Homo-oligomer: A and B are copies of this chain.
Amino acid sequence: MKINMAHGSGGNATRELIRDLFQKYLTNEYLEKMEDAASLPGSKYPLALTTDSFVITPLEFPGGDIGKLAVCGTVNDLWMSGAEPEYLTAGFILEEGLDFSLLEKVIASLSKAAKEAGVKIVAGDTKVVQGNGGLYINTAGLGFQKYNQSMVSGTVLPGDAIIVNGDLGNHHACIMSQRMEIINNIQSDCANLGPAVKEILQSGAEVRLMRDITRGGLGTILNEIAESKNALIEVEETKIPVDPEVQSFCEILGLDPLYMANEGKFLCITSQKDEEKVLEILQNHPLGKRARCIGHILNTDKFQVTVKTRLGGRRIVDILYGEGLPRIC
């Protein structure tokens, strides 16, 4: 069975699709009321709200699919702000011709990821557009900021450590391999970062800020941080963790892991004194076995990102220019 325009009419076909698919996999006490808006308990904690649209192709890839990604991406954004994710909304834009069984697999995967992340899908929407069997998913996430105490100042200090939780570039290399039909073992790192982040936040370590290293890659994100904090950041090329297979892939294709997208990696800036503490927490966690301190904040009087190269030189790291890889997330 294929999705057709009638599934977006708001009438009978839409209702059947919602009943046979969305309600089957996603139901909970909020969603089953089928009201215009979900009614949720209030919160004494500050709220965190975020949104992300997912347009990745292919819809399924080694290590995940668009459904898992749509949960992990938004849940991770909430964790980065020190918030425990509670509720998601999900908006589906289906292209005509989308295979019903593929959609079902994606929804099942989204449901599983939501359960694992401890979030409920409380509101949804489905539209159908002309096209070639594609699928876009938007998720918005609402969380409660229970843990952001040390991040509220928004400042970084000279000496602060920049820690990443593991190998960079896997998601990017995986999607690119799929598109180019290159056979290898590279899997996307698509993951809910919550369990590792929660341990760090609960440890009382002085966390200045966290950012997930998605579109644009580490280089772009370090530049955004440098700019917003007026900070001089230096990282060491030899300390940036990259999986050997991804490294070979990059060398063959002339890619730089600094600009490659990830879906299960984040950077955490901590005070110098808590560098070891955070590293230890991460290295003892499945999501951070290959965590490293890759550099430090050198100064906060001008903004720039530099990298100390393998050969001991120093070069400026700019933001990503040009196209990057389209539809990577």
Whether a CB of chain B sits under 8 angstroms from the CB of A264 is no
Whether a CB of chain B sits under 8 angstroms from the CB of A110 is no
Shortest CB distance A78–B (Å): 5
Shortest CB distance A298–B (Å): 23
Report chain B residues within 8 Å CB of A310: none
Per a CB cutoff under 8 Å, which of B9, B40, B80, B261 touches A10?
Answer: B261
Report chain B residues within 8 Å CB of A12: 319-322
Whether a CB of chain B sits under 8 angstroms from the CB of A147 is no
B141/A37 in contact, CB under 8 A: yes
21 contacting pairs across A/B (C-beta < 8 A): A9-B323, A10-B216, A10-B261, A10-B320, A11-B259, A12-B319, A13-B322, A36-B76, A36-B77, A37-B77, A40-B48, A47-B142, A49-B123, A51-B90, A51-B140, A53-B92, A53-B125, A53-B127, A128-B326, A129-B327, A142-B142
Whether a CB of chain B sits under 8 angstroms from the CB of A109 is no
B50/A89 in contact, CB under 8 A: yes
Residue of B nearest to A96 (CB): B326
Could you say how many copies of this chain the assembly holds? 2
| Chain A residues within CB distance 8 Å of chain B | 5-6, 8-15, 34-55, 76-78, 80-81, 83, 87, 89-93, 122-125, 127-130, 134, 136, 138, 140-145, 148, 211-212, 214-217, 220, 224, 228, 259, 261, 319-327
Query: Main secondary structure on chain A at its contact with chain B?
Result: mixed
Residue of B nearest to A54 (CB): B127
B141/A138 in contact, CB under 8 A: no
B78/A14 in contact, CB under 8 A: no
Shortest CB distance A107–B (Å): 16
Per a CB cutoff under 8 Å, which of B44, B46, B128, B136 touches A129?
Answer: B136
Residue of B nearest to A209 (CB): B35
Report chain B residues within 8 Å CB of A124: 51
Complex Cα distance A85/B322, Å?
38
Given the known interface contacts A10-B216, A55-B129, the answer about A228 and B136 at a Cβ–Cβ threshold of 8 Å is no
Complex Cα distance A40/B143, Å?
10
Report chain B residues within 8 Å CB of A327: 8, 127, 129
B48/A38 in contact, CB under 8 A: yes
Complex Cα distance A267/B125, Å?
20
Shortest CB distance A329–B (Å): 8
B48/A39 in contact, CB under 8 A: yes
Report chain B residues within 8 Å CB of A214: 10
B44/A11 in contact, CB under 8 A: no
Interface centre among A11, A319, A324 (most CB of B within 10 A): A11
